């Protein structure tokens, strides 16, 4: 895990993400952690709403002030003694958050994104609305989201929710690497709902075959009944007191696609523990 990216908006949850990323970097001997602050360039109508002219000079002055402030704040973080053992860098860019993050992941070979969330209301200031949803759904690198300060040592049980088919080799490889990094027990679970019900006998054999195929160790497995998938994942994680949730996302949507798009996003927005997501179709 050589390159870790932390979207950074100077909020408390962004700091939690940075601190957690730093712990991961030390454990994984990562090459670099890059903080990225993205300033969305305002349109002329934005300036008019704020009582300003839409003329370029005013816009340029406003943007320069934003960049200078962000640069000063970033330099303070770079100088902190707690990060002296890490190769910590930062970037300040103008543009659309989702587009810029996707480009950074692609061009820099980012292997993990760690980002803060603000809970049920959605991701914090830096990741509002559709930008957050698209990042969780479409990121070409695994994403860990968290809303509270977390330590590696606190992650002992990982709830891994899946339907245990249509899972790529790359995806399960990432899950096993995640388990190894934390030295945690993997708690495999299949959520059974009225709309997609399968028998206990079917689920037991499916999960046993899955465990054997991918040589998964230090794990448990079970099916869990609930009215819907997202609430089922959250309820199961709470029941077993999981320290982290791992789920896959799909880039296409359709009837019967477990944990497709919005389900993973709902889990991210409502989970009380960190959530690791990665695209099932990336492999």
Residue-wise pLDDT for 99-130, tens only, equals 899 999 999 999 999 998 875 554 545 555 45
Sign of CA dihedral 129, 40, 116, 244: positive
Indicate the SS3 state at residue 144: strand
- CATH architecture of the domain with residue range 155-279: 3-Layer(aba) Sandwich (3.40)
Please identify every stretch of the chain with a pLDDT value under 50, giving residue numbers as ranges: 45-54, 122, 124, 129, 251-260, 283
> What does the pLDDT read at residue 254?
41
Closest CA to 113 of 3, 238, 189, 196: 3
Distance CA 170, CA 7 (A): 24
pLDDT score of 71: 96
CATH number of 3-146: 3.40.50.620
Give whole-number Cα distances, 32 to 25, 28, 190, 218, in Å. 8, 11, 36, 30
Asked whether the beta carbons of 117 and 252 are under 8 A apart, the reply is no
63 C-beta neighbours (distance < 10 Å), count: 14
Locate CATH 3.40.50.620 in the chain: 3-146, 155-279
* Cα 179 to Cα 216: distance, rounded to the nearest angstrom: 10
- 42 Cβ neighbours under 8 A, 6+ residues apart: 59, 62, 63
At residue 17, the pLDDT reads 94
Instruction: For 62-106, write each residue's pLDDT tens digit.
Output: 888 999 999 999 999 999 999 999 999 999 999 888 889 999 999
């Amino acid at each position: 895990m050589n390159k870790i990216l932390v979207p950074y908006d100077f909020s408390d949850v962004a700091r939690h993400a940075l601190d957690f990323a730093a712990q991961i970097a030390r454990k994984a001997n990562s090459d670099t952690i890059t903080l990225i602050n993205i300033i969305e360039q305002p349109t002329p109508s934005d300036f008019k709403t704020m009582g300003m002219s839409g003329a370029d000079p005013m816009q340029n002055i406003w943007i320069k002030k934003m960049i200078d402030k962000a640069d000063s704040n970033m330099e303070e973080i770079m100088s902190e003694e707690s990060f002296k053992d890490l190769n910590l860098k930062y970037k300040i860019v103008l543009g659309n958050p989702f587009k810029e993050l996707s480009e950074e992941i692609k061009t820099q070979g980012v292997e993990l994104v760690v980002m803060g969330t603000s809970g049920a209301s959605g991701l914090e200031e830096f990741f509002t609305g559709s930008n957050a949803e698209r990042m969780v759904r479409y990121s070409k690198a695994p994403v860990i989201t968290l809303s509270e300060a977390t330590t590696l040592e606190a992650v002992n049980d990982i709830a891994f929710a899946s339907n245990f088919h249509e899972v790529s080799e790359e995806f399960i490889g990432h899950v096993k690497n995640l388990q190894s990094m934390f030295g945690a027990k993997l708690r495999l679970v299949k959520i059974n709902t009225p709309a997609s019900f399968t028998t206990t006998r079917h689920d037991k054999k499916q999960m046993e075959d899955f465990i054997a195929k991918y040589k998964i160790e230090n794990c448990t497995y079970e099916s869990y009944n609930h009215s819907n998938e997202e609430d089922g994942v959250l309820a199961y994680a709470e029941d077993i007191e999981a320290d982290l949730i791992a789920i896959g996302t799909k880039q296409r949507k359709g009837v019967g696609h477990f944990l497709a798009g919005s389900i993973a996003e709902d889990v991210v927005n409502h989970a009380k523990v960190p959530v690791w997501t990665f695209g099932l179709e990336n492999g």
